[in-house]
Copies of this chain bind each other. A is one copy, B any other.
Amino acid sequence: MTSVVLLDHGSGGRASRRLIREVFMRHLSNPVLDTMDDAAHLELSGSLAMSTDSFTVDPPEFPGGDIGSLAVHGTVNDVAMLGARPRYLSCAFILEEGLPLDLLERIVRSMGQAARAAGVWVVTGDTKVVPRGAADKVFITTTGIGEILADPAPAGSRAAAGDAVLLSGTVGDHGLTILSRRAGLALDGPLASDSAPLHVMAASLATEVGDIHVLRDPTRGGLATTLNEIAEQSGVACEIREEAIPVRSCVASGCAVLGLDPLYLANEGKLLCILPEAKAAGALAVMRRSPYGAEAAVIGRILAPGDKAGAGRVILITRPGGRRLLGMLEGEQLPRIC
């Protein structure tokens, strides 16, 4: 077999089948995928969650993960944020002619490991190869479906006055890792992406704690943008305390050097949980039990509109005790972060 991806590998002909057999099936095999039909045949019922994301992260391999594991975690987490148990993934690859096959194999192997760890099967897929220069290395689109466990399901529109806002851990790790890698910066400390599957934590919140109003993972745009979206969807105001938001010291110092705000950097293994204040302690205990939630914290609360801010607003209480409006991310300094 050649050592790089060729246009032939995307033809749908013999070379495509060889690539599928020798790379994709080798690492992703399961009884559904192995049928090799145009569509996967699944058994599922009831209320389902479906989510999709394209991943274009540059570089494709980075401390803490790679585009393959990220493509599994990102979609598993989006499905889990509806209070659902992720079950099946599809994955579609767009490969640039000339991509080293050993890089592709590492990515697919990582994808297989992440899928097994998350208890999901990759059941159907697609591979396209575009000529050199028509894409950059590798793009992956995953789509996930799963069964909704919570009734009613959490939704961005359900935050209510009096709710507590919980965050499962530190912010900014993924965004700063990618940025520093790309810029060739050597920042202090063990900087790594937080890419991780959150479905177990989300399911425990939905089934053991219950009454979860909102679950959402603050990815692109960071914590600040995600809270703004929720405030807008729910027509409420939100107040968070800067001192309560966990930030790793290497992320804080890296952000200070680069003039970045960790509240606007992408996370790939964190969730926000918004639920009635009376349930906050129970939810916090569940989150901290997870290997990905040791630093979970209550970071703020939902206000009634007109309380101290208008509907759709997010207020940050700064360390010195000041109050400032936390807007949505306006520009884009970091393309291809996920």
Chain A residues at the B interface, C-beta cutoff of 8 Å: 6-17, 35-56, 58, 78-79, 81-82, 84, 88, 90-94, 97, 123-126, 128-131, 133-136, 139, 141, 143-145, 148, 153, 155-157, 216-217, 219-221, 225, 229, 233, 266, 327-332, 335-336
Query: Contact between A328 and B136 (Cβ–Cβ < 8 Å)?
Result: no
Contacts of A84 in B (CB 8 A): 39
The CA of A294 and the CA of B334, in the complex, are separated in Å by: 52
The CA of A10 and the CA of B266, in the complex, are separated in Å by: 13
Given contacts A11-B332, A40-B49, A51-B124, 11 further A-B contacts (CB under 8 A): A12-B225, A13-B220, A38-B82, A39-B144, A41-B49, A41-B82, A44-B45, A52-B92, A131-B335, A134-B336, A135-B139
The CA of A94 and the CA of B55, in the complex, are separated in Å by: 9
**What are 20 inter-chain pairs, A to B, with CB distance below 8 A?**
A6-B332, A8-B332, A10-B332, A11-B221, A35-B155, A40-B50, A41-B48, A41-B153, A45-B45, A52-B90, A52-B91, A52-B124, A52-B143, A55-B128, A56-B130, A92-B141, A94-B94, A129-B332, A130-B336, A135-B135
Query: Contact between A52 and B141 (Cβ–Cβ < 8 Å)?
Result: yes
Query: Contact between A39 and B129 (Cβ–Cβ < 8 Å)?
Result: no
Most buried by B among A14, A15, A43, A50: A50
The CA of A157 and the CA of B233, in the complex, are separated in Å by: 48
Contacts of A125 in B (CB 8 A): 52
Contact of A38 among B43, B78, B266 (CB under 8 A): B78
Query: Contact between A44 and B41 (Cβ–Cβ < 8 Å)?
Result: no
Contacts of A229 in B (CB 8 A): 17, 36
The CA of A52 and the CA of B97, in the complex, are separated in Å by: 21
Distance in angstroms from A41 CB to nearest chain B CB is 6
Distance in angstroms from A2 CB to nearest chain B CB is 13
